[in-house]
Amino acid sequence: MSSIVTLRDLLVEEIKDLYSAEKQLVKALPKVAEAATDEQLRQTILEHLEETKQHVSRLEKVFAELDESPKAKTCEAMKGLISEGEKAIGQKGPDALRDAGLIGAAQRVEHYEIAAYGTARAFAEELDLPAVVELLQATLDEEGEADKTLSRLAGAVNRAACLAGVPD
């Protein structure tokens, strides 16, 4: 990190971190969709996988705007988040409980991205890079929507999970 001397350098670091995070997600989300049993949850995750692929290509456009070649820098936080997601995938017991755990893990991921894109957008605004701001904002909006959709689904899934644990 010793070569970081300007806010622009720091923005590039943030984009490399996000590029790693989104690429890790593209690999992880199919396994999450496979583990989900609620049909609406599975569909939501599959749709978000397609969006995530778009997020990767938007970040490549951001690299181009910044005259940088696309390069990922391992995002340690996303590694930890995905490792928690894997625990939720491996959860034994009632399906609805596994779904409830998957939603919890997915919302942590969305919030990580909301914070990270928010920081990158603030840097781009300060640096007066409107094209970069626009690209980051487009993804930020989709992450926010995904989080809201997951919150809505959590209602029914948690209710089912609550009933699943009640002995007959």
Q: How far is the CB of 96 from a copy of itself (least distance, A)?
A: 8
Q: How far is the CB of 168 from a copy of itself (least distance, A)?
A: 13
Q: Quote the CA–CA distance of 44 and 150 in Å, as a whole number.
A: 8
Q: Could you give phi then psi for residue 92, rounded to 5 degrees?
A: -80, 180
**Closest CB to a copy of itself among 49 and 114?**
114
Residue 52 near residue 139 (C-beta atoms within 8 A) = no
Residues in the chain: 168
Place of tokens 């919890």: 104
Q: Which residues neighbour 16 within 8 Å (Cβ) at sequence distance 6 or greater?
A: 71, 72, 73
**Closest CB to a copy of itself among 57 and 130?**
130
Q: How far is the CB of 166 from a copy of itself (least distance, A)?
A: 8
Q: How far is the CB of 130 from a copy of itself (least distance, A)?
A: 15
Residue 136 near residue 75 (C-beta atoms within 8 A) = no
Q: Quote the CA–CA distance of 23 and 146 in Å, as a whole number.
A: 17
**Closest CB to a copy of itself among 49 and 77?**
77
Write the DSSP symbol of residue 6.
S
List residues binding a copy of itself (CB under 8 A).
1-2, 4-10, 14, 17, 75-81, 83-84, 87, 90-94, 97, 100-101, 103-104, 107-108, 110-112, 114-116, 118-119, 122-123, 126-127, 147, 151, 154-155, 158-159, 161-162, 164-166
**Closest CB to a copy of itself among 57 and 124?**
124
First-last CA distance in the chain: 58
Q: How far is the CB of 51 from a copy of itself (least distance, A)?
A: 18
**Closest CB to a copy of itself among 27 and 87?**
87
